[in-house]
Structure 1
Amino acid sequence: MTEQMNLFGDAAGAQSTEPALSHEPAATRAAELRHELDYHAYRYYMLDAPEITDAAFDKMLVELQEIESAYPDLITPTSYTQRVGGYVSDQFAPVTHMARMYSMDDAMNLEELDAWLERTENALGAGRVTYTCELKIDGLGVAITYENGAFVRAATRGDGTTGEDVSLNVRTIQDVPMHLSEKALVHMGTDRDRVIEVRGEVYMPKGSFVRLNDEADAEGRDPFANPRNAAAGSLRQKDPKVTAKRDLSTFIYAIADTTPLHVHSQHEFLNWLRDAGFHVNPNVASCKTPTEVHEFCADALAHRSDLDYDIDGVVVKVDSFQQQSDLGFTARAPRWAIAFKFPPEEKTTVLREIRVQVGRTGVLTPVAEFDPVTVAGSTIARATLHNIDEVHRKDVRVGDTIVVHKAGDVIPEIVGPVLDKRWPDAQPWQMPSTCPVCGSPVVHEEGEVAYRCVSLDCAAQLKERLLHWVSRGCMDVDGVGDELVDKMIAAGLLHDVADFYQLTVEDIAGLDTGRTYAASNARRGVRAGDPILVGQKTARKAIDEIARSKQQPLGRVLFALGIRLVGKSVGELLAQRFLSIDRLVLASEEEIASIDGVGPKIAASVKGFLAVPENLEVLERLRQAGLTLEEDLGQMTADAAAATGVSADLASEQPLAGLTFVLTGTLVRRTRDEAGAALKALGAKVTGSVSKKTSFVVAGPKAGSKLAKAESLGVPVLDEEQLEIILTTGELPTA
């Protein structure tokens, strides 16, 4: 990078103020702030689990900047003011960016924004500057590389110099082009074959964020704090299939090097991005005066709640690339841009009650109900408190005056109590010991946050358990859906999943659909205004499908029962290990936990479920109804072979039994999940970490730390061609 002109002199944003502290206490406070900033940055960027708000973080950063401005000798190279925020995880292969990705200096109010505008005008000449104003998307920074117009890789921002390779996950985001448009490449002329790296934000739409947290609450998982954390957590999934289900989107707005594009300003560059096929935010304005900048910021703040994505401010940039070059950079941020941060909208109200809801999996969720208050454009009167730990962490009590806001401007959330308004007799809230719906004892396992009702008799869980049982991934009962299950529950036909197998055609055929006959749908023997019944045809199909489901294997039955933490794959592992429901009931928690891929938490959940007498009664009724509660090991092996494409005869021999494989890097012929499933079909164990006990590591392109560890331990490393030979022949490569 060429040397930049420093037209501002001191770092952008630094103010000449009288120091509030003398040197010694300032040094102590600076050290405390660096420690706090590093800790909270790690939780934000690395764990996607922040403990404080962005505003609180920014306040500490400003305080540190002020101390270092007053006492420059206290500045250290590792200070957060001297580097780009972010961390690089060792779970993904490292990627070095084409050019450094900088952070942005913040303006926390209009006075700070005006100070930056004044410095910019003084440096470049009043009236000679055009600004581009863009919405500040609250997402995860990403850099996407193209060569000859084709997608090559994608990486997170990381520490600004090195990011994490998330190429497979970014490929699943629908608005990321795999090939740039011919129009954009023609504009590049002779540079069309150059490597370019565009930058932007990956974000999660607000509606998707709401659905994701609803699912988390229902399943007893910790919810995401805001859409930004949800986007970051989704992009860092090891399985791209999970990312693909999370409904992520992008806005692209920057590039490492504009030279190949032959553009001269930010607005020209944004037009090129649109032509190339990228998703570019439409809310952009060219402003020629500070007044116009103010107007754009005010309009964005007024309408932020109308957007389907989260923003936390406005980014103001000098439009001309030549003028950007003249202004240059500080140690961590460009001088030619600033982020005007919006203040969070918070209101106070009174907490009247904390009620408990019971979800499909039996999780008890405390929900706060408070006096209605308008926040971010809508009236709210309740907010989930997620779990007992969250209630105690925030220390909210019935009768408290509380502060509320909307996380991501979407989800109502309690910030905390106003302690000086607390009544003297206010008592800490506790989770009930029995289910508020069915009265069964509540289960709370050691080390777990959630409290649960595990009774299959619980009415609050009934409908969702029934729908889960008949769903495609479980017992796969076609023709029995939401509406029909509702009718059968209302008629008293269904109290648990075993009741499906006691139904008759007449039971279902006589159910009232809730619709009434109209003269326009003439039916023989039915008069206008008569109710419409389900009928024989629909009922016969449902009964036939229910009967067919009796042949589903034990692994599917275990999944369909809705045991917490038991998904389809865990159900199959349990079935393969114990082969019958009777052996599983008699197995110890330690025996279950010893299965690779299960572990102590799942084992405790399974044993807890099987310890409830009502659940065992349901299992016995399912057996009497004719369900398959035992496994044919030979058939299981054949099914696994068919699903993975390996030879059934070879799978029956289990040639890889006793061997442990680790997969790393990018595989071409199969995904890593598909390769792992094929290895397991041949008897191998597939794990995610390399140790001395690992038999082989299969390394594709872009393999990272696992390959390095294998080489250091002397573990044999195979390429994809050797893997395919093993899967085809069952024979291991010779030394």
Structure 2
Amino acid sequence: MGSMSEARPTPPAASATDLTGVPAAIRTRWGELVRDIERARDAYYDAVDAQSPWSDAEYDALYRELESLEAAHPALRLSSSPTQTVGGRAVTDFAAAPHHERMYSLQDVFSLDEVEQWAQRMAAETGVPDAELPMTAEVKIDGLAVALTYEHGVLTRAATRGDGVVGEDVTGNVRTIDSIPLVLAGDSHPDLLEVRGEVYFPVAAFHEFNKRRRAENLQREAEGRPRLQVFANPRNAAAGSLRQKNPAVTAARPLAMIAHGVGAIIPAAGEQLPTAQHAWYELLAAWGLPVSPYNQVVRGRAQREAYIARYADHRHDLLHEIDGIVFKLDSRPLQAELGYTSRVPRWATAYKYPPEEVHTRLLDIDVQVGRTGRVTPFGIMEPVLVAGSRVSRATLHNATEVARKGVKIGDLVVLRKAGDVIPEIVGPVLERRDGSERDFVMPQQCPSCGTALAPAKEGDVDLRCPNTRSCPAQLTERIAHIGSRGALDVEGLGDEAASALTQPDAGRVEALAALAAGHFLETEQGRLRLPDKKLQALHPAERIGVAEALLAEAAVPEQQPVLTGEAGLFELTADDLRDVFVYRPITRGGVPTGDWRRLRFFWSKQLYTKDGAVKRSTAPGKNATAMLKQLEAAKQQPLWRVLVALSVRHVGPTAARALARRFGSIDAMRAASLEELAQVDGVGPTIAAAWQDWLAADWHQQILARWAAAGVRMADDAGPVEQTPQTLAGLTIVVTGTLQRFTRDGAKEAIMAHGGKASGSVSKRTNYVVVGENAGSKETKARELGLPLLDESGFETLLAGGPDALGA
């Protein structure tokens, strides 16, 4: 459960899809036929890891039956039906899919005391004693969050979580997952139902899948064919499988799904829906949706902690991987009453299990420089497998943290994955020290550009490189940021490509660690390896230096960075990418061997004869042509994405959208005053000042000029869009009770968007109180104070026109 399911804004109107007149048995059979026909088509047209289980004659019979059903019941003839498409399904483009209601994250806690603090807060805010307050206890599935939209019981869309507001449309892929019904069982389905859940790779199926792949890869290697991917862990397998551009690939993977909540709901006329979380799970199961067999209703601390302990002991025995336990108030009316923060629901929390720990040798401590110039120490370790992936480096945060942990170079250290995701060095194994370990000394100059390091301001524990423009390490991070999904979304311009473009021999540190551990390094000039006898004579802390000397002796040519600034990114050509080298781990059957290879990142390998002559010349590879094609396409991204790509401090997607909507072009933003910028809803003085500070740098102006000259869009076609009318400016408004067209937090968002203050308590300073059903004590107090009361219609009138629109 990587994200929360229940959410807020006003539900959309139901679509024209209406199958209420089609009998349940007919709808179910229609769903079975659609899935079988699509699977047969995938195997026939795409032939990716799959064989059709049906003969041509059987396929024809299935298709004719589907045609007959749709002829008898025309409402079934949806645009997504195989009868309305030709041949195999098209490659998926992952179009944007706005969620009907926002998907939230969960508030993580890491101790039983924190769980208890949250539970006591729930008891205080609901007025129900903790021992009597029912909660659902659920295992936290380690998978990929999805939102499924059912209209009148038929699956019409599936989307990934994305940023919580807009996800990616993966309907074609989700339809291949057997556990997800295309048509809900039974009757009395809502006109619109948004089901939230987690797609996962079952553990047993994951191990069997990798086993088959490794066996096939051995055969492929013998035949000289490319190897198939072997996954590091079930979570990565689920994410990679669901986001395949070809649904046939997803169909060949044994994915499953578990529903863990609902979002937008438009009930059918007269329909009574559950008011308890556990009752919703029972209803979803009755409709054929998979729900967790591990869910339980608990009350009080003892039952919560017993549930946590039970699955701590059995976390590796379940159908799927888990990384914690989720507790939710079982009462949905109480959920609605408590609402959400800007990021998480107040009525739920996620207890994270302590991560798994292993021991490994700390070979060295180096530092890296981030996008903002922050210099962070990290440990270089003998590669070790932890929580499903092989790790050879881990962050140490800053020099103060290194001292606090007490680790020294050469130590045997405890390593874990924080939250089962980020590698973290916990501390040294003190009893294994022999006195030869040495202290880490924080450098005084930037390791990337040589500039003197200093805190950004007095009292900071972090050191930063002030050479923002020319520091290669900072440039690497900025280039990778440009290619990220939140910015220009350039496929092929990720961390590795950015590093290869901006730094010589990316991955060299890890390759040296492998050499120091006794593995070999393969280059175009030959294979390098430290003799075993020499390694045995060296202390672990000395091995990195000897490995560096070996690399220097081999006369491997140095390369110069292709990019020295982001201004030239959109001017790159294939020839510019010819001599870009990186270090990569060597795998066998998809499993890392520990050995490494230095190779061309964008072009094919150049082969030499024994006497050093070129035997086969290098040529552009697929990753070179693909990245250049994607960069060309990225030039047409909307203005807000360009703003995010510029790495202006504080300007993320929300502020960028607001600025682009208000001004419509870079030129208009340049001309805007600080006051005009700050007045934009969602911007404010800090972001406005950051934008003007960014513009003041000459080299930033060069970026804009060269990007514009290369064809990058600097203005939106629609031009500026007026911001939301500030009809509630200066007003304080309280919302109480249940509204029909707004959730509680949806109403608060509407108030703030129109310039008002949304308050949670009634006082003499309150201007209006919006009263819904079951309003309770807040309505009573408002009446006692003689405050103006509004129903939902009055609230909408106030939003649209302010107090004057209400008349007398």
TM range (shorter): 0.3 to 0.5
TM-score by length of 1: 0.43
TM-score by length of 2: 0.40
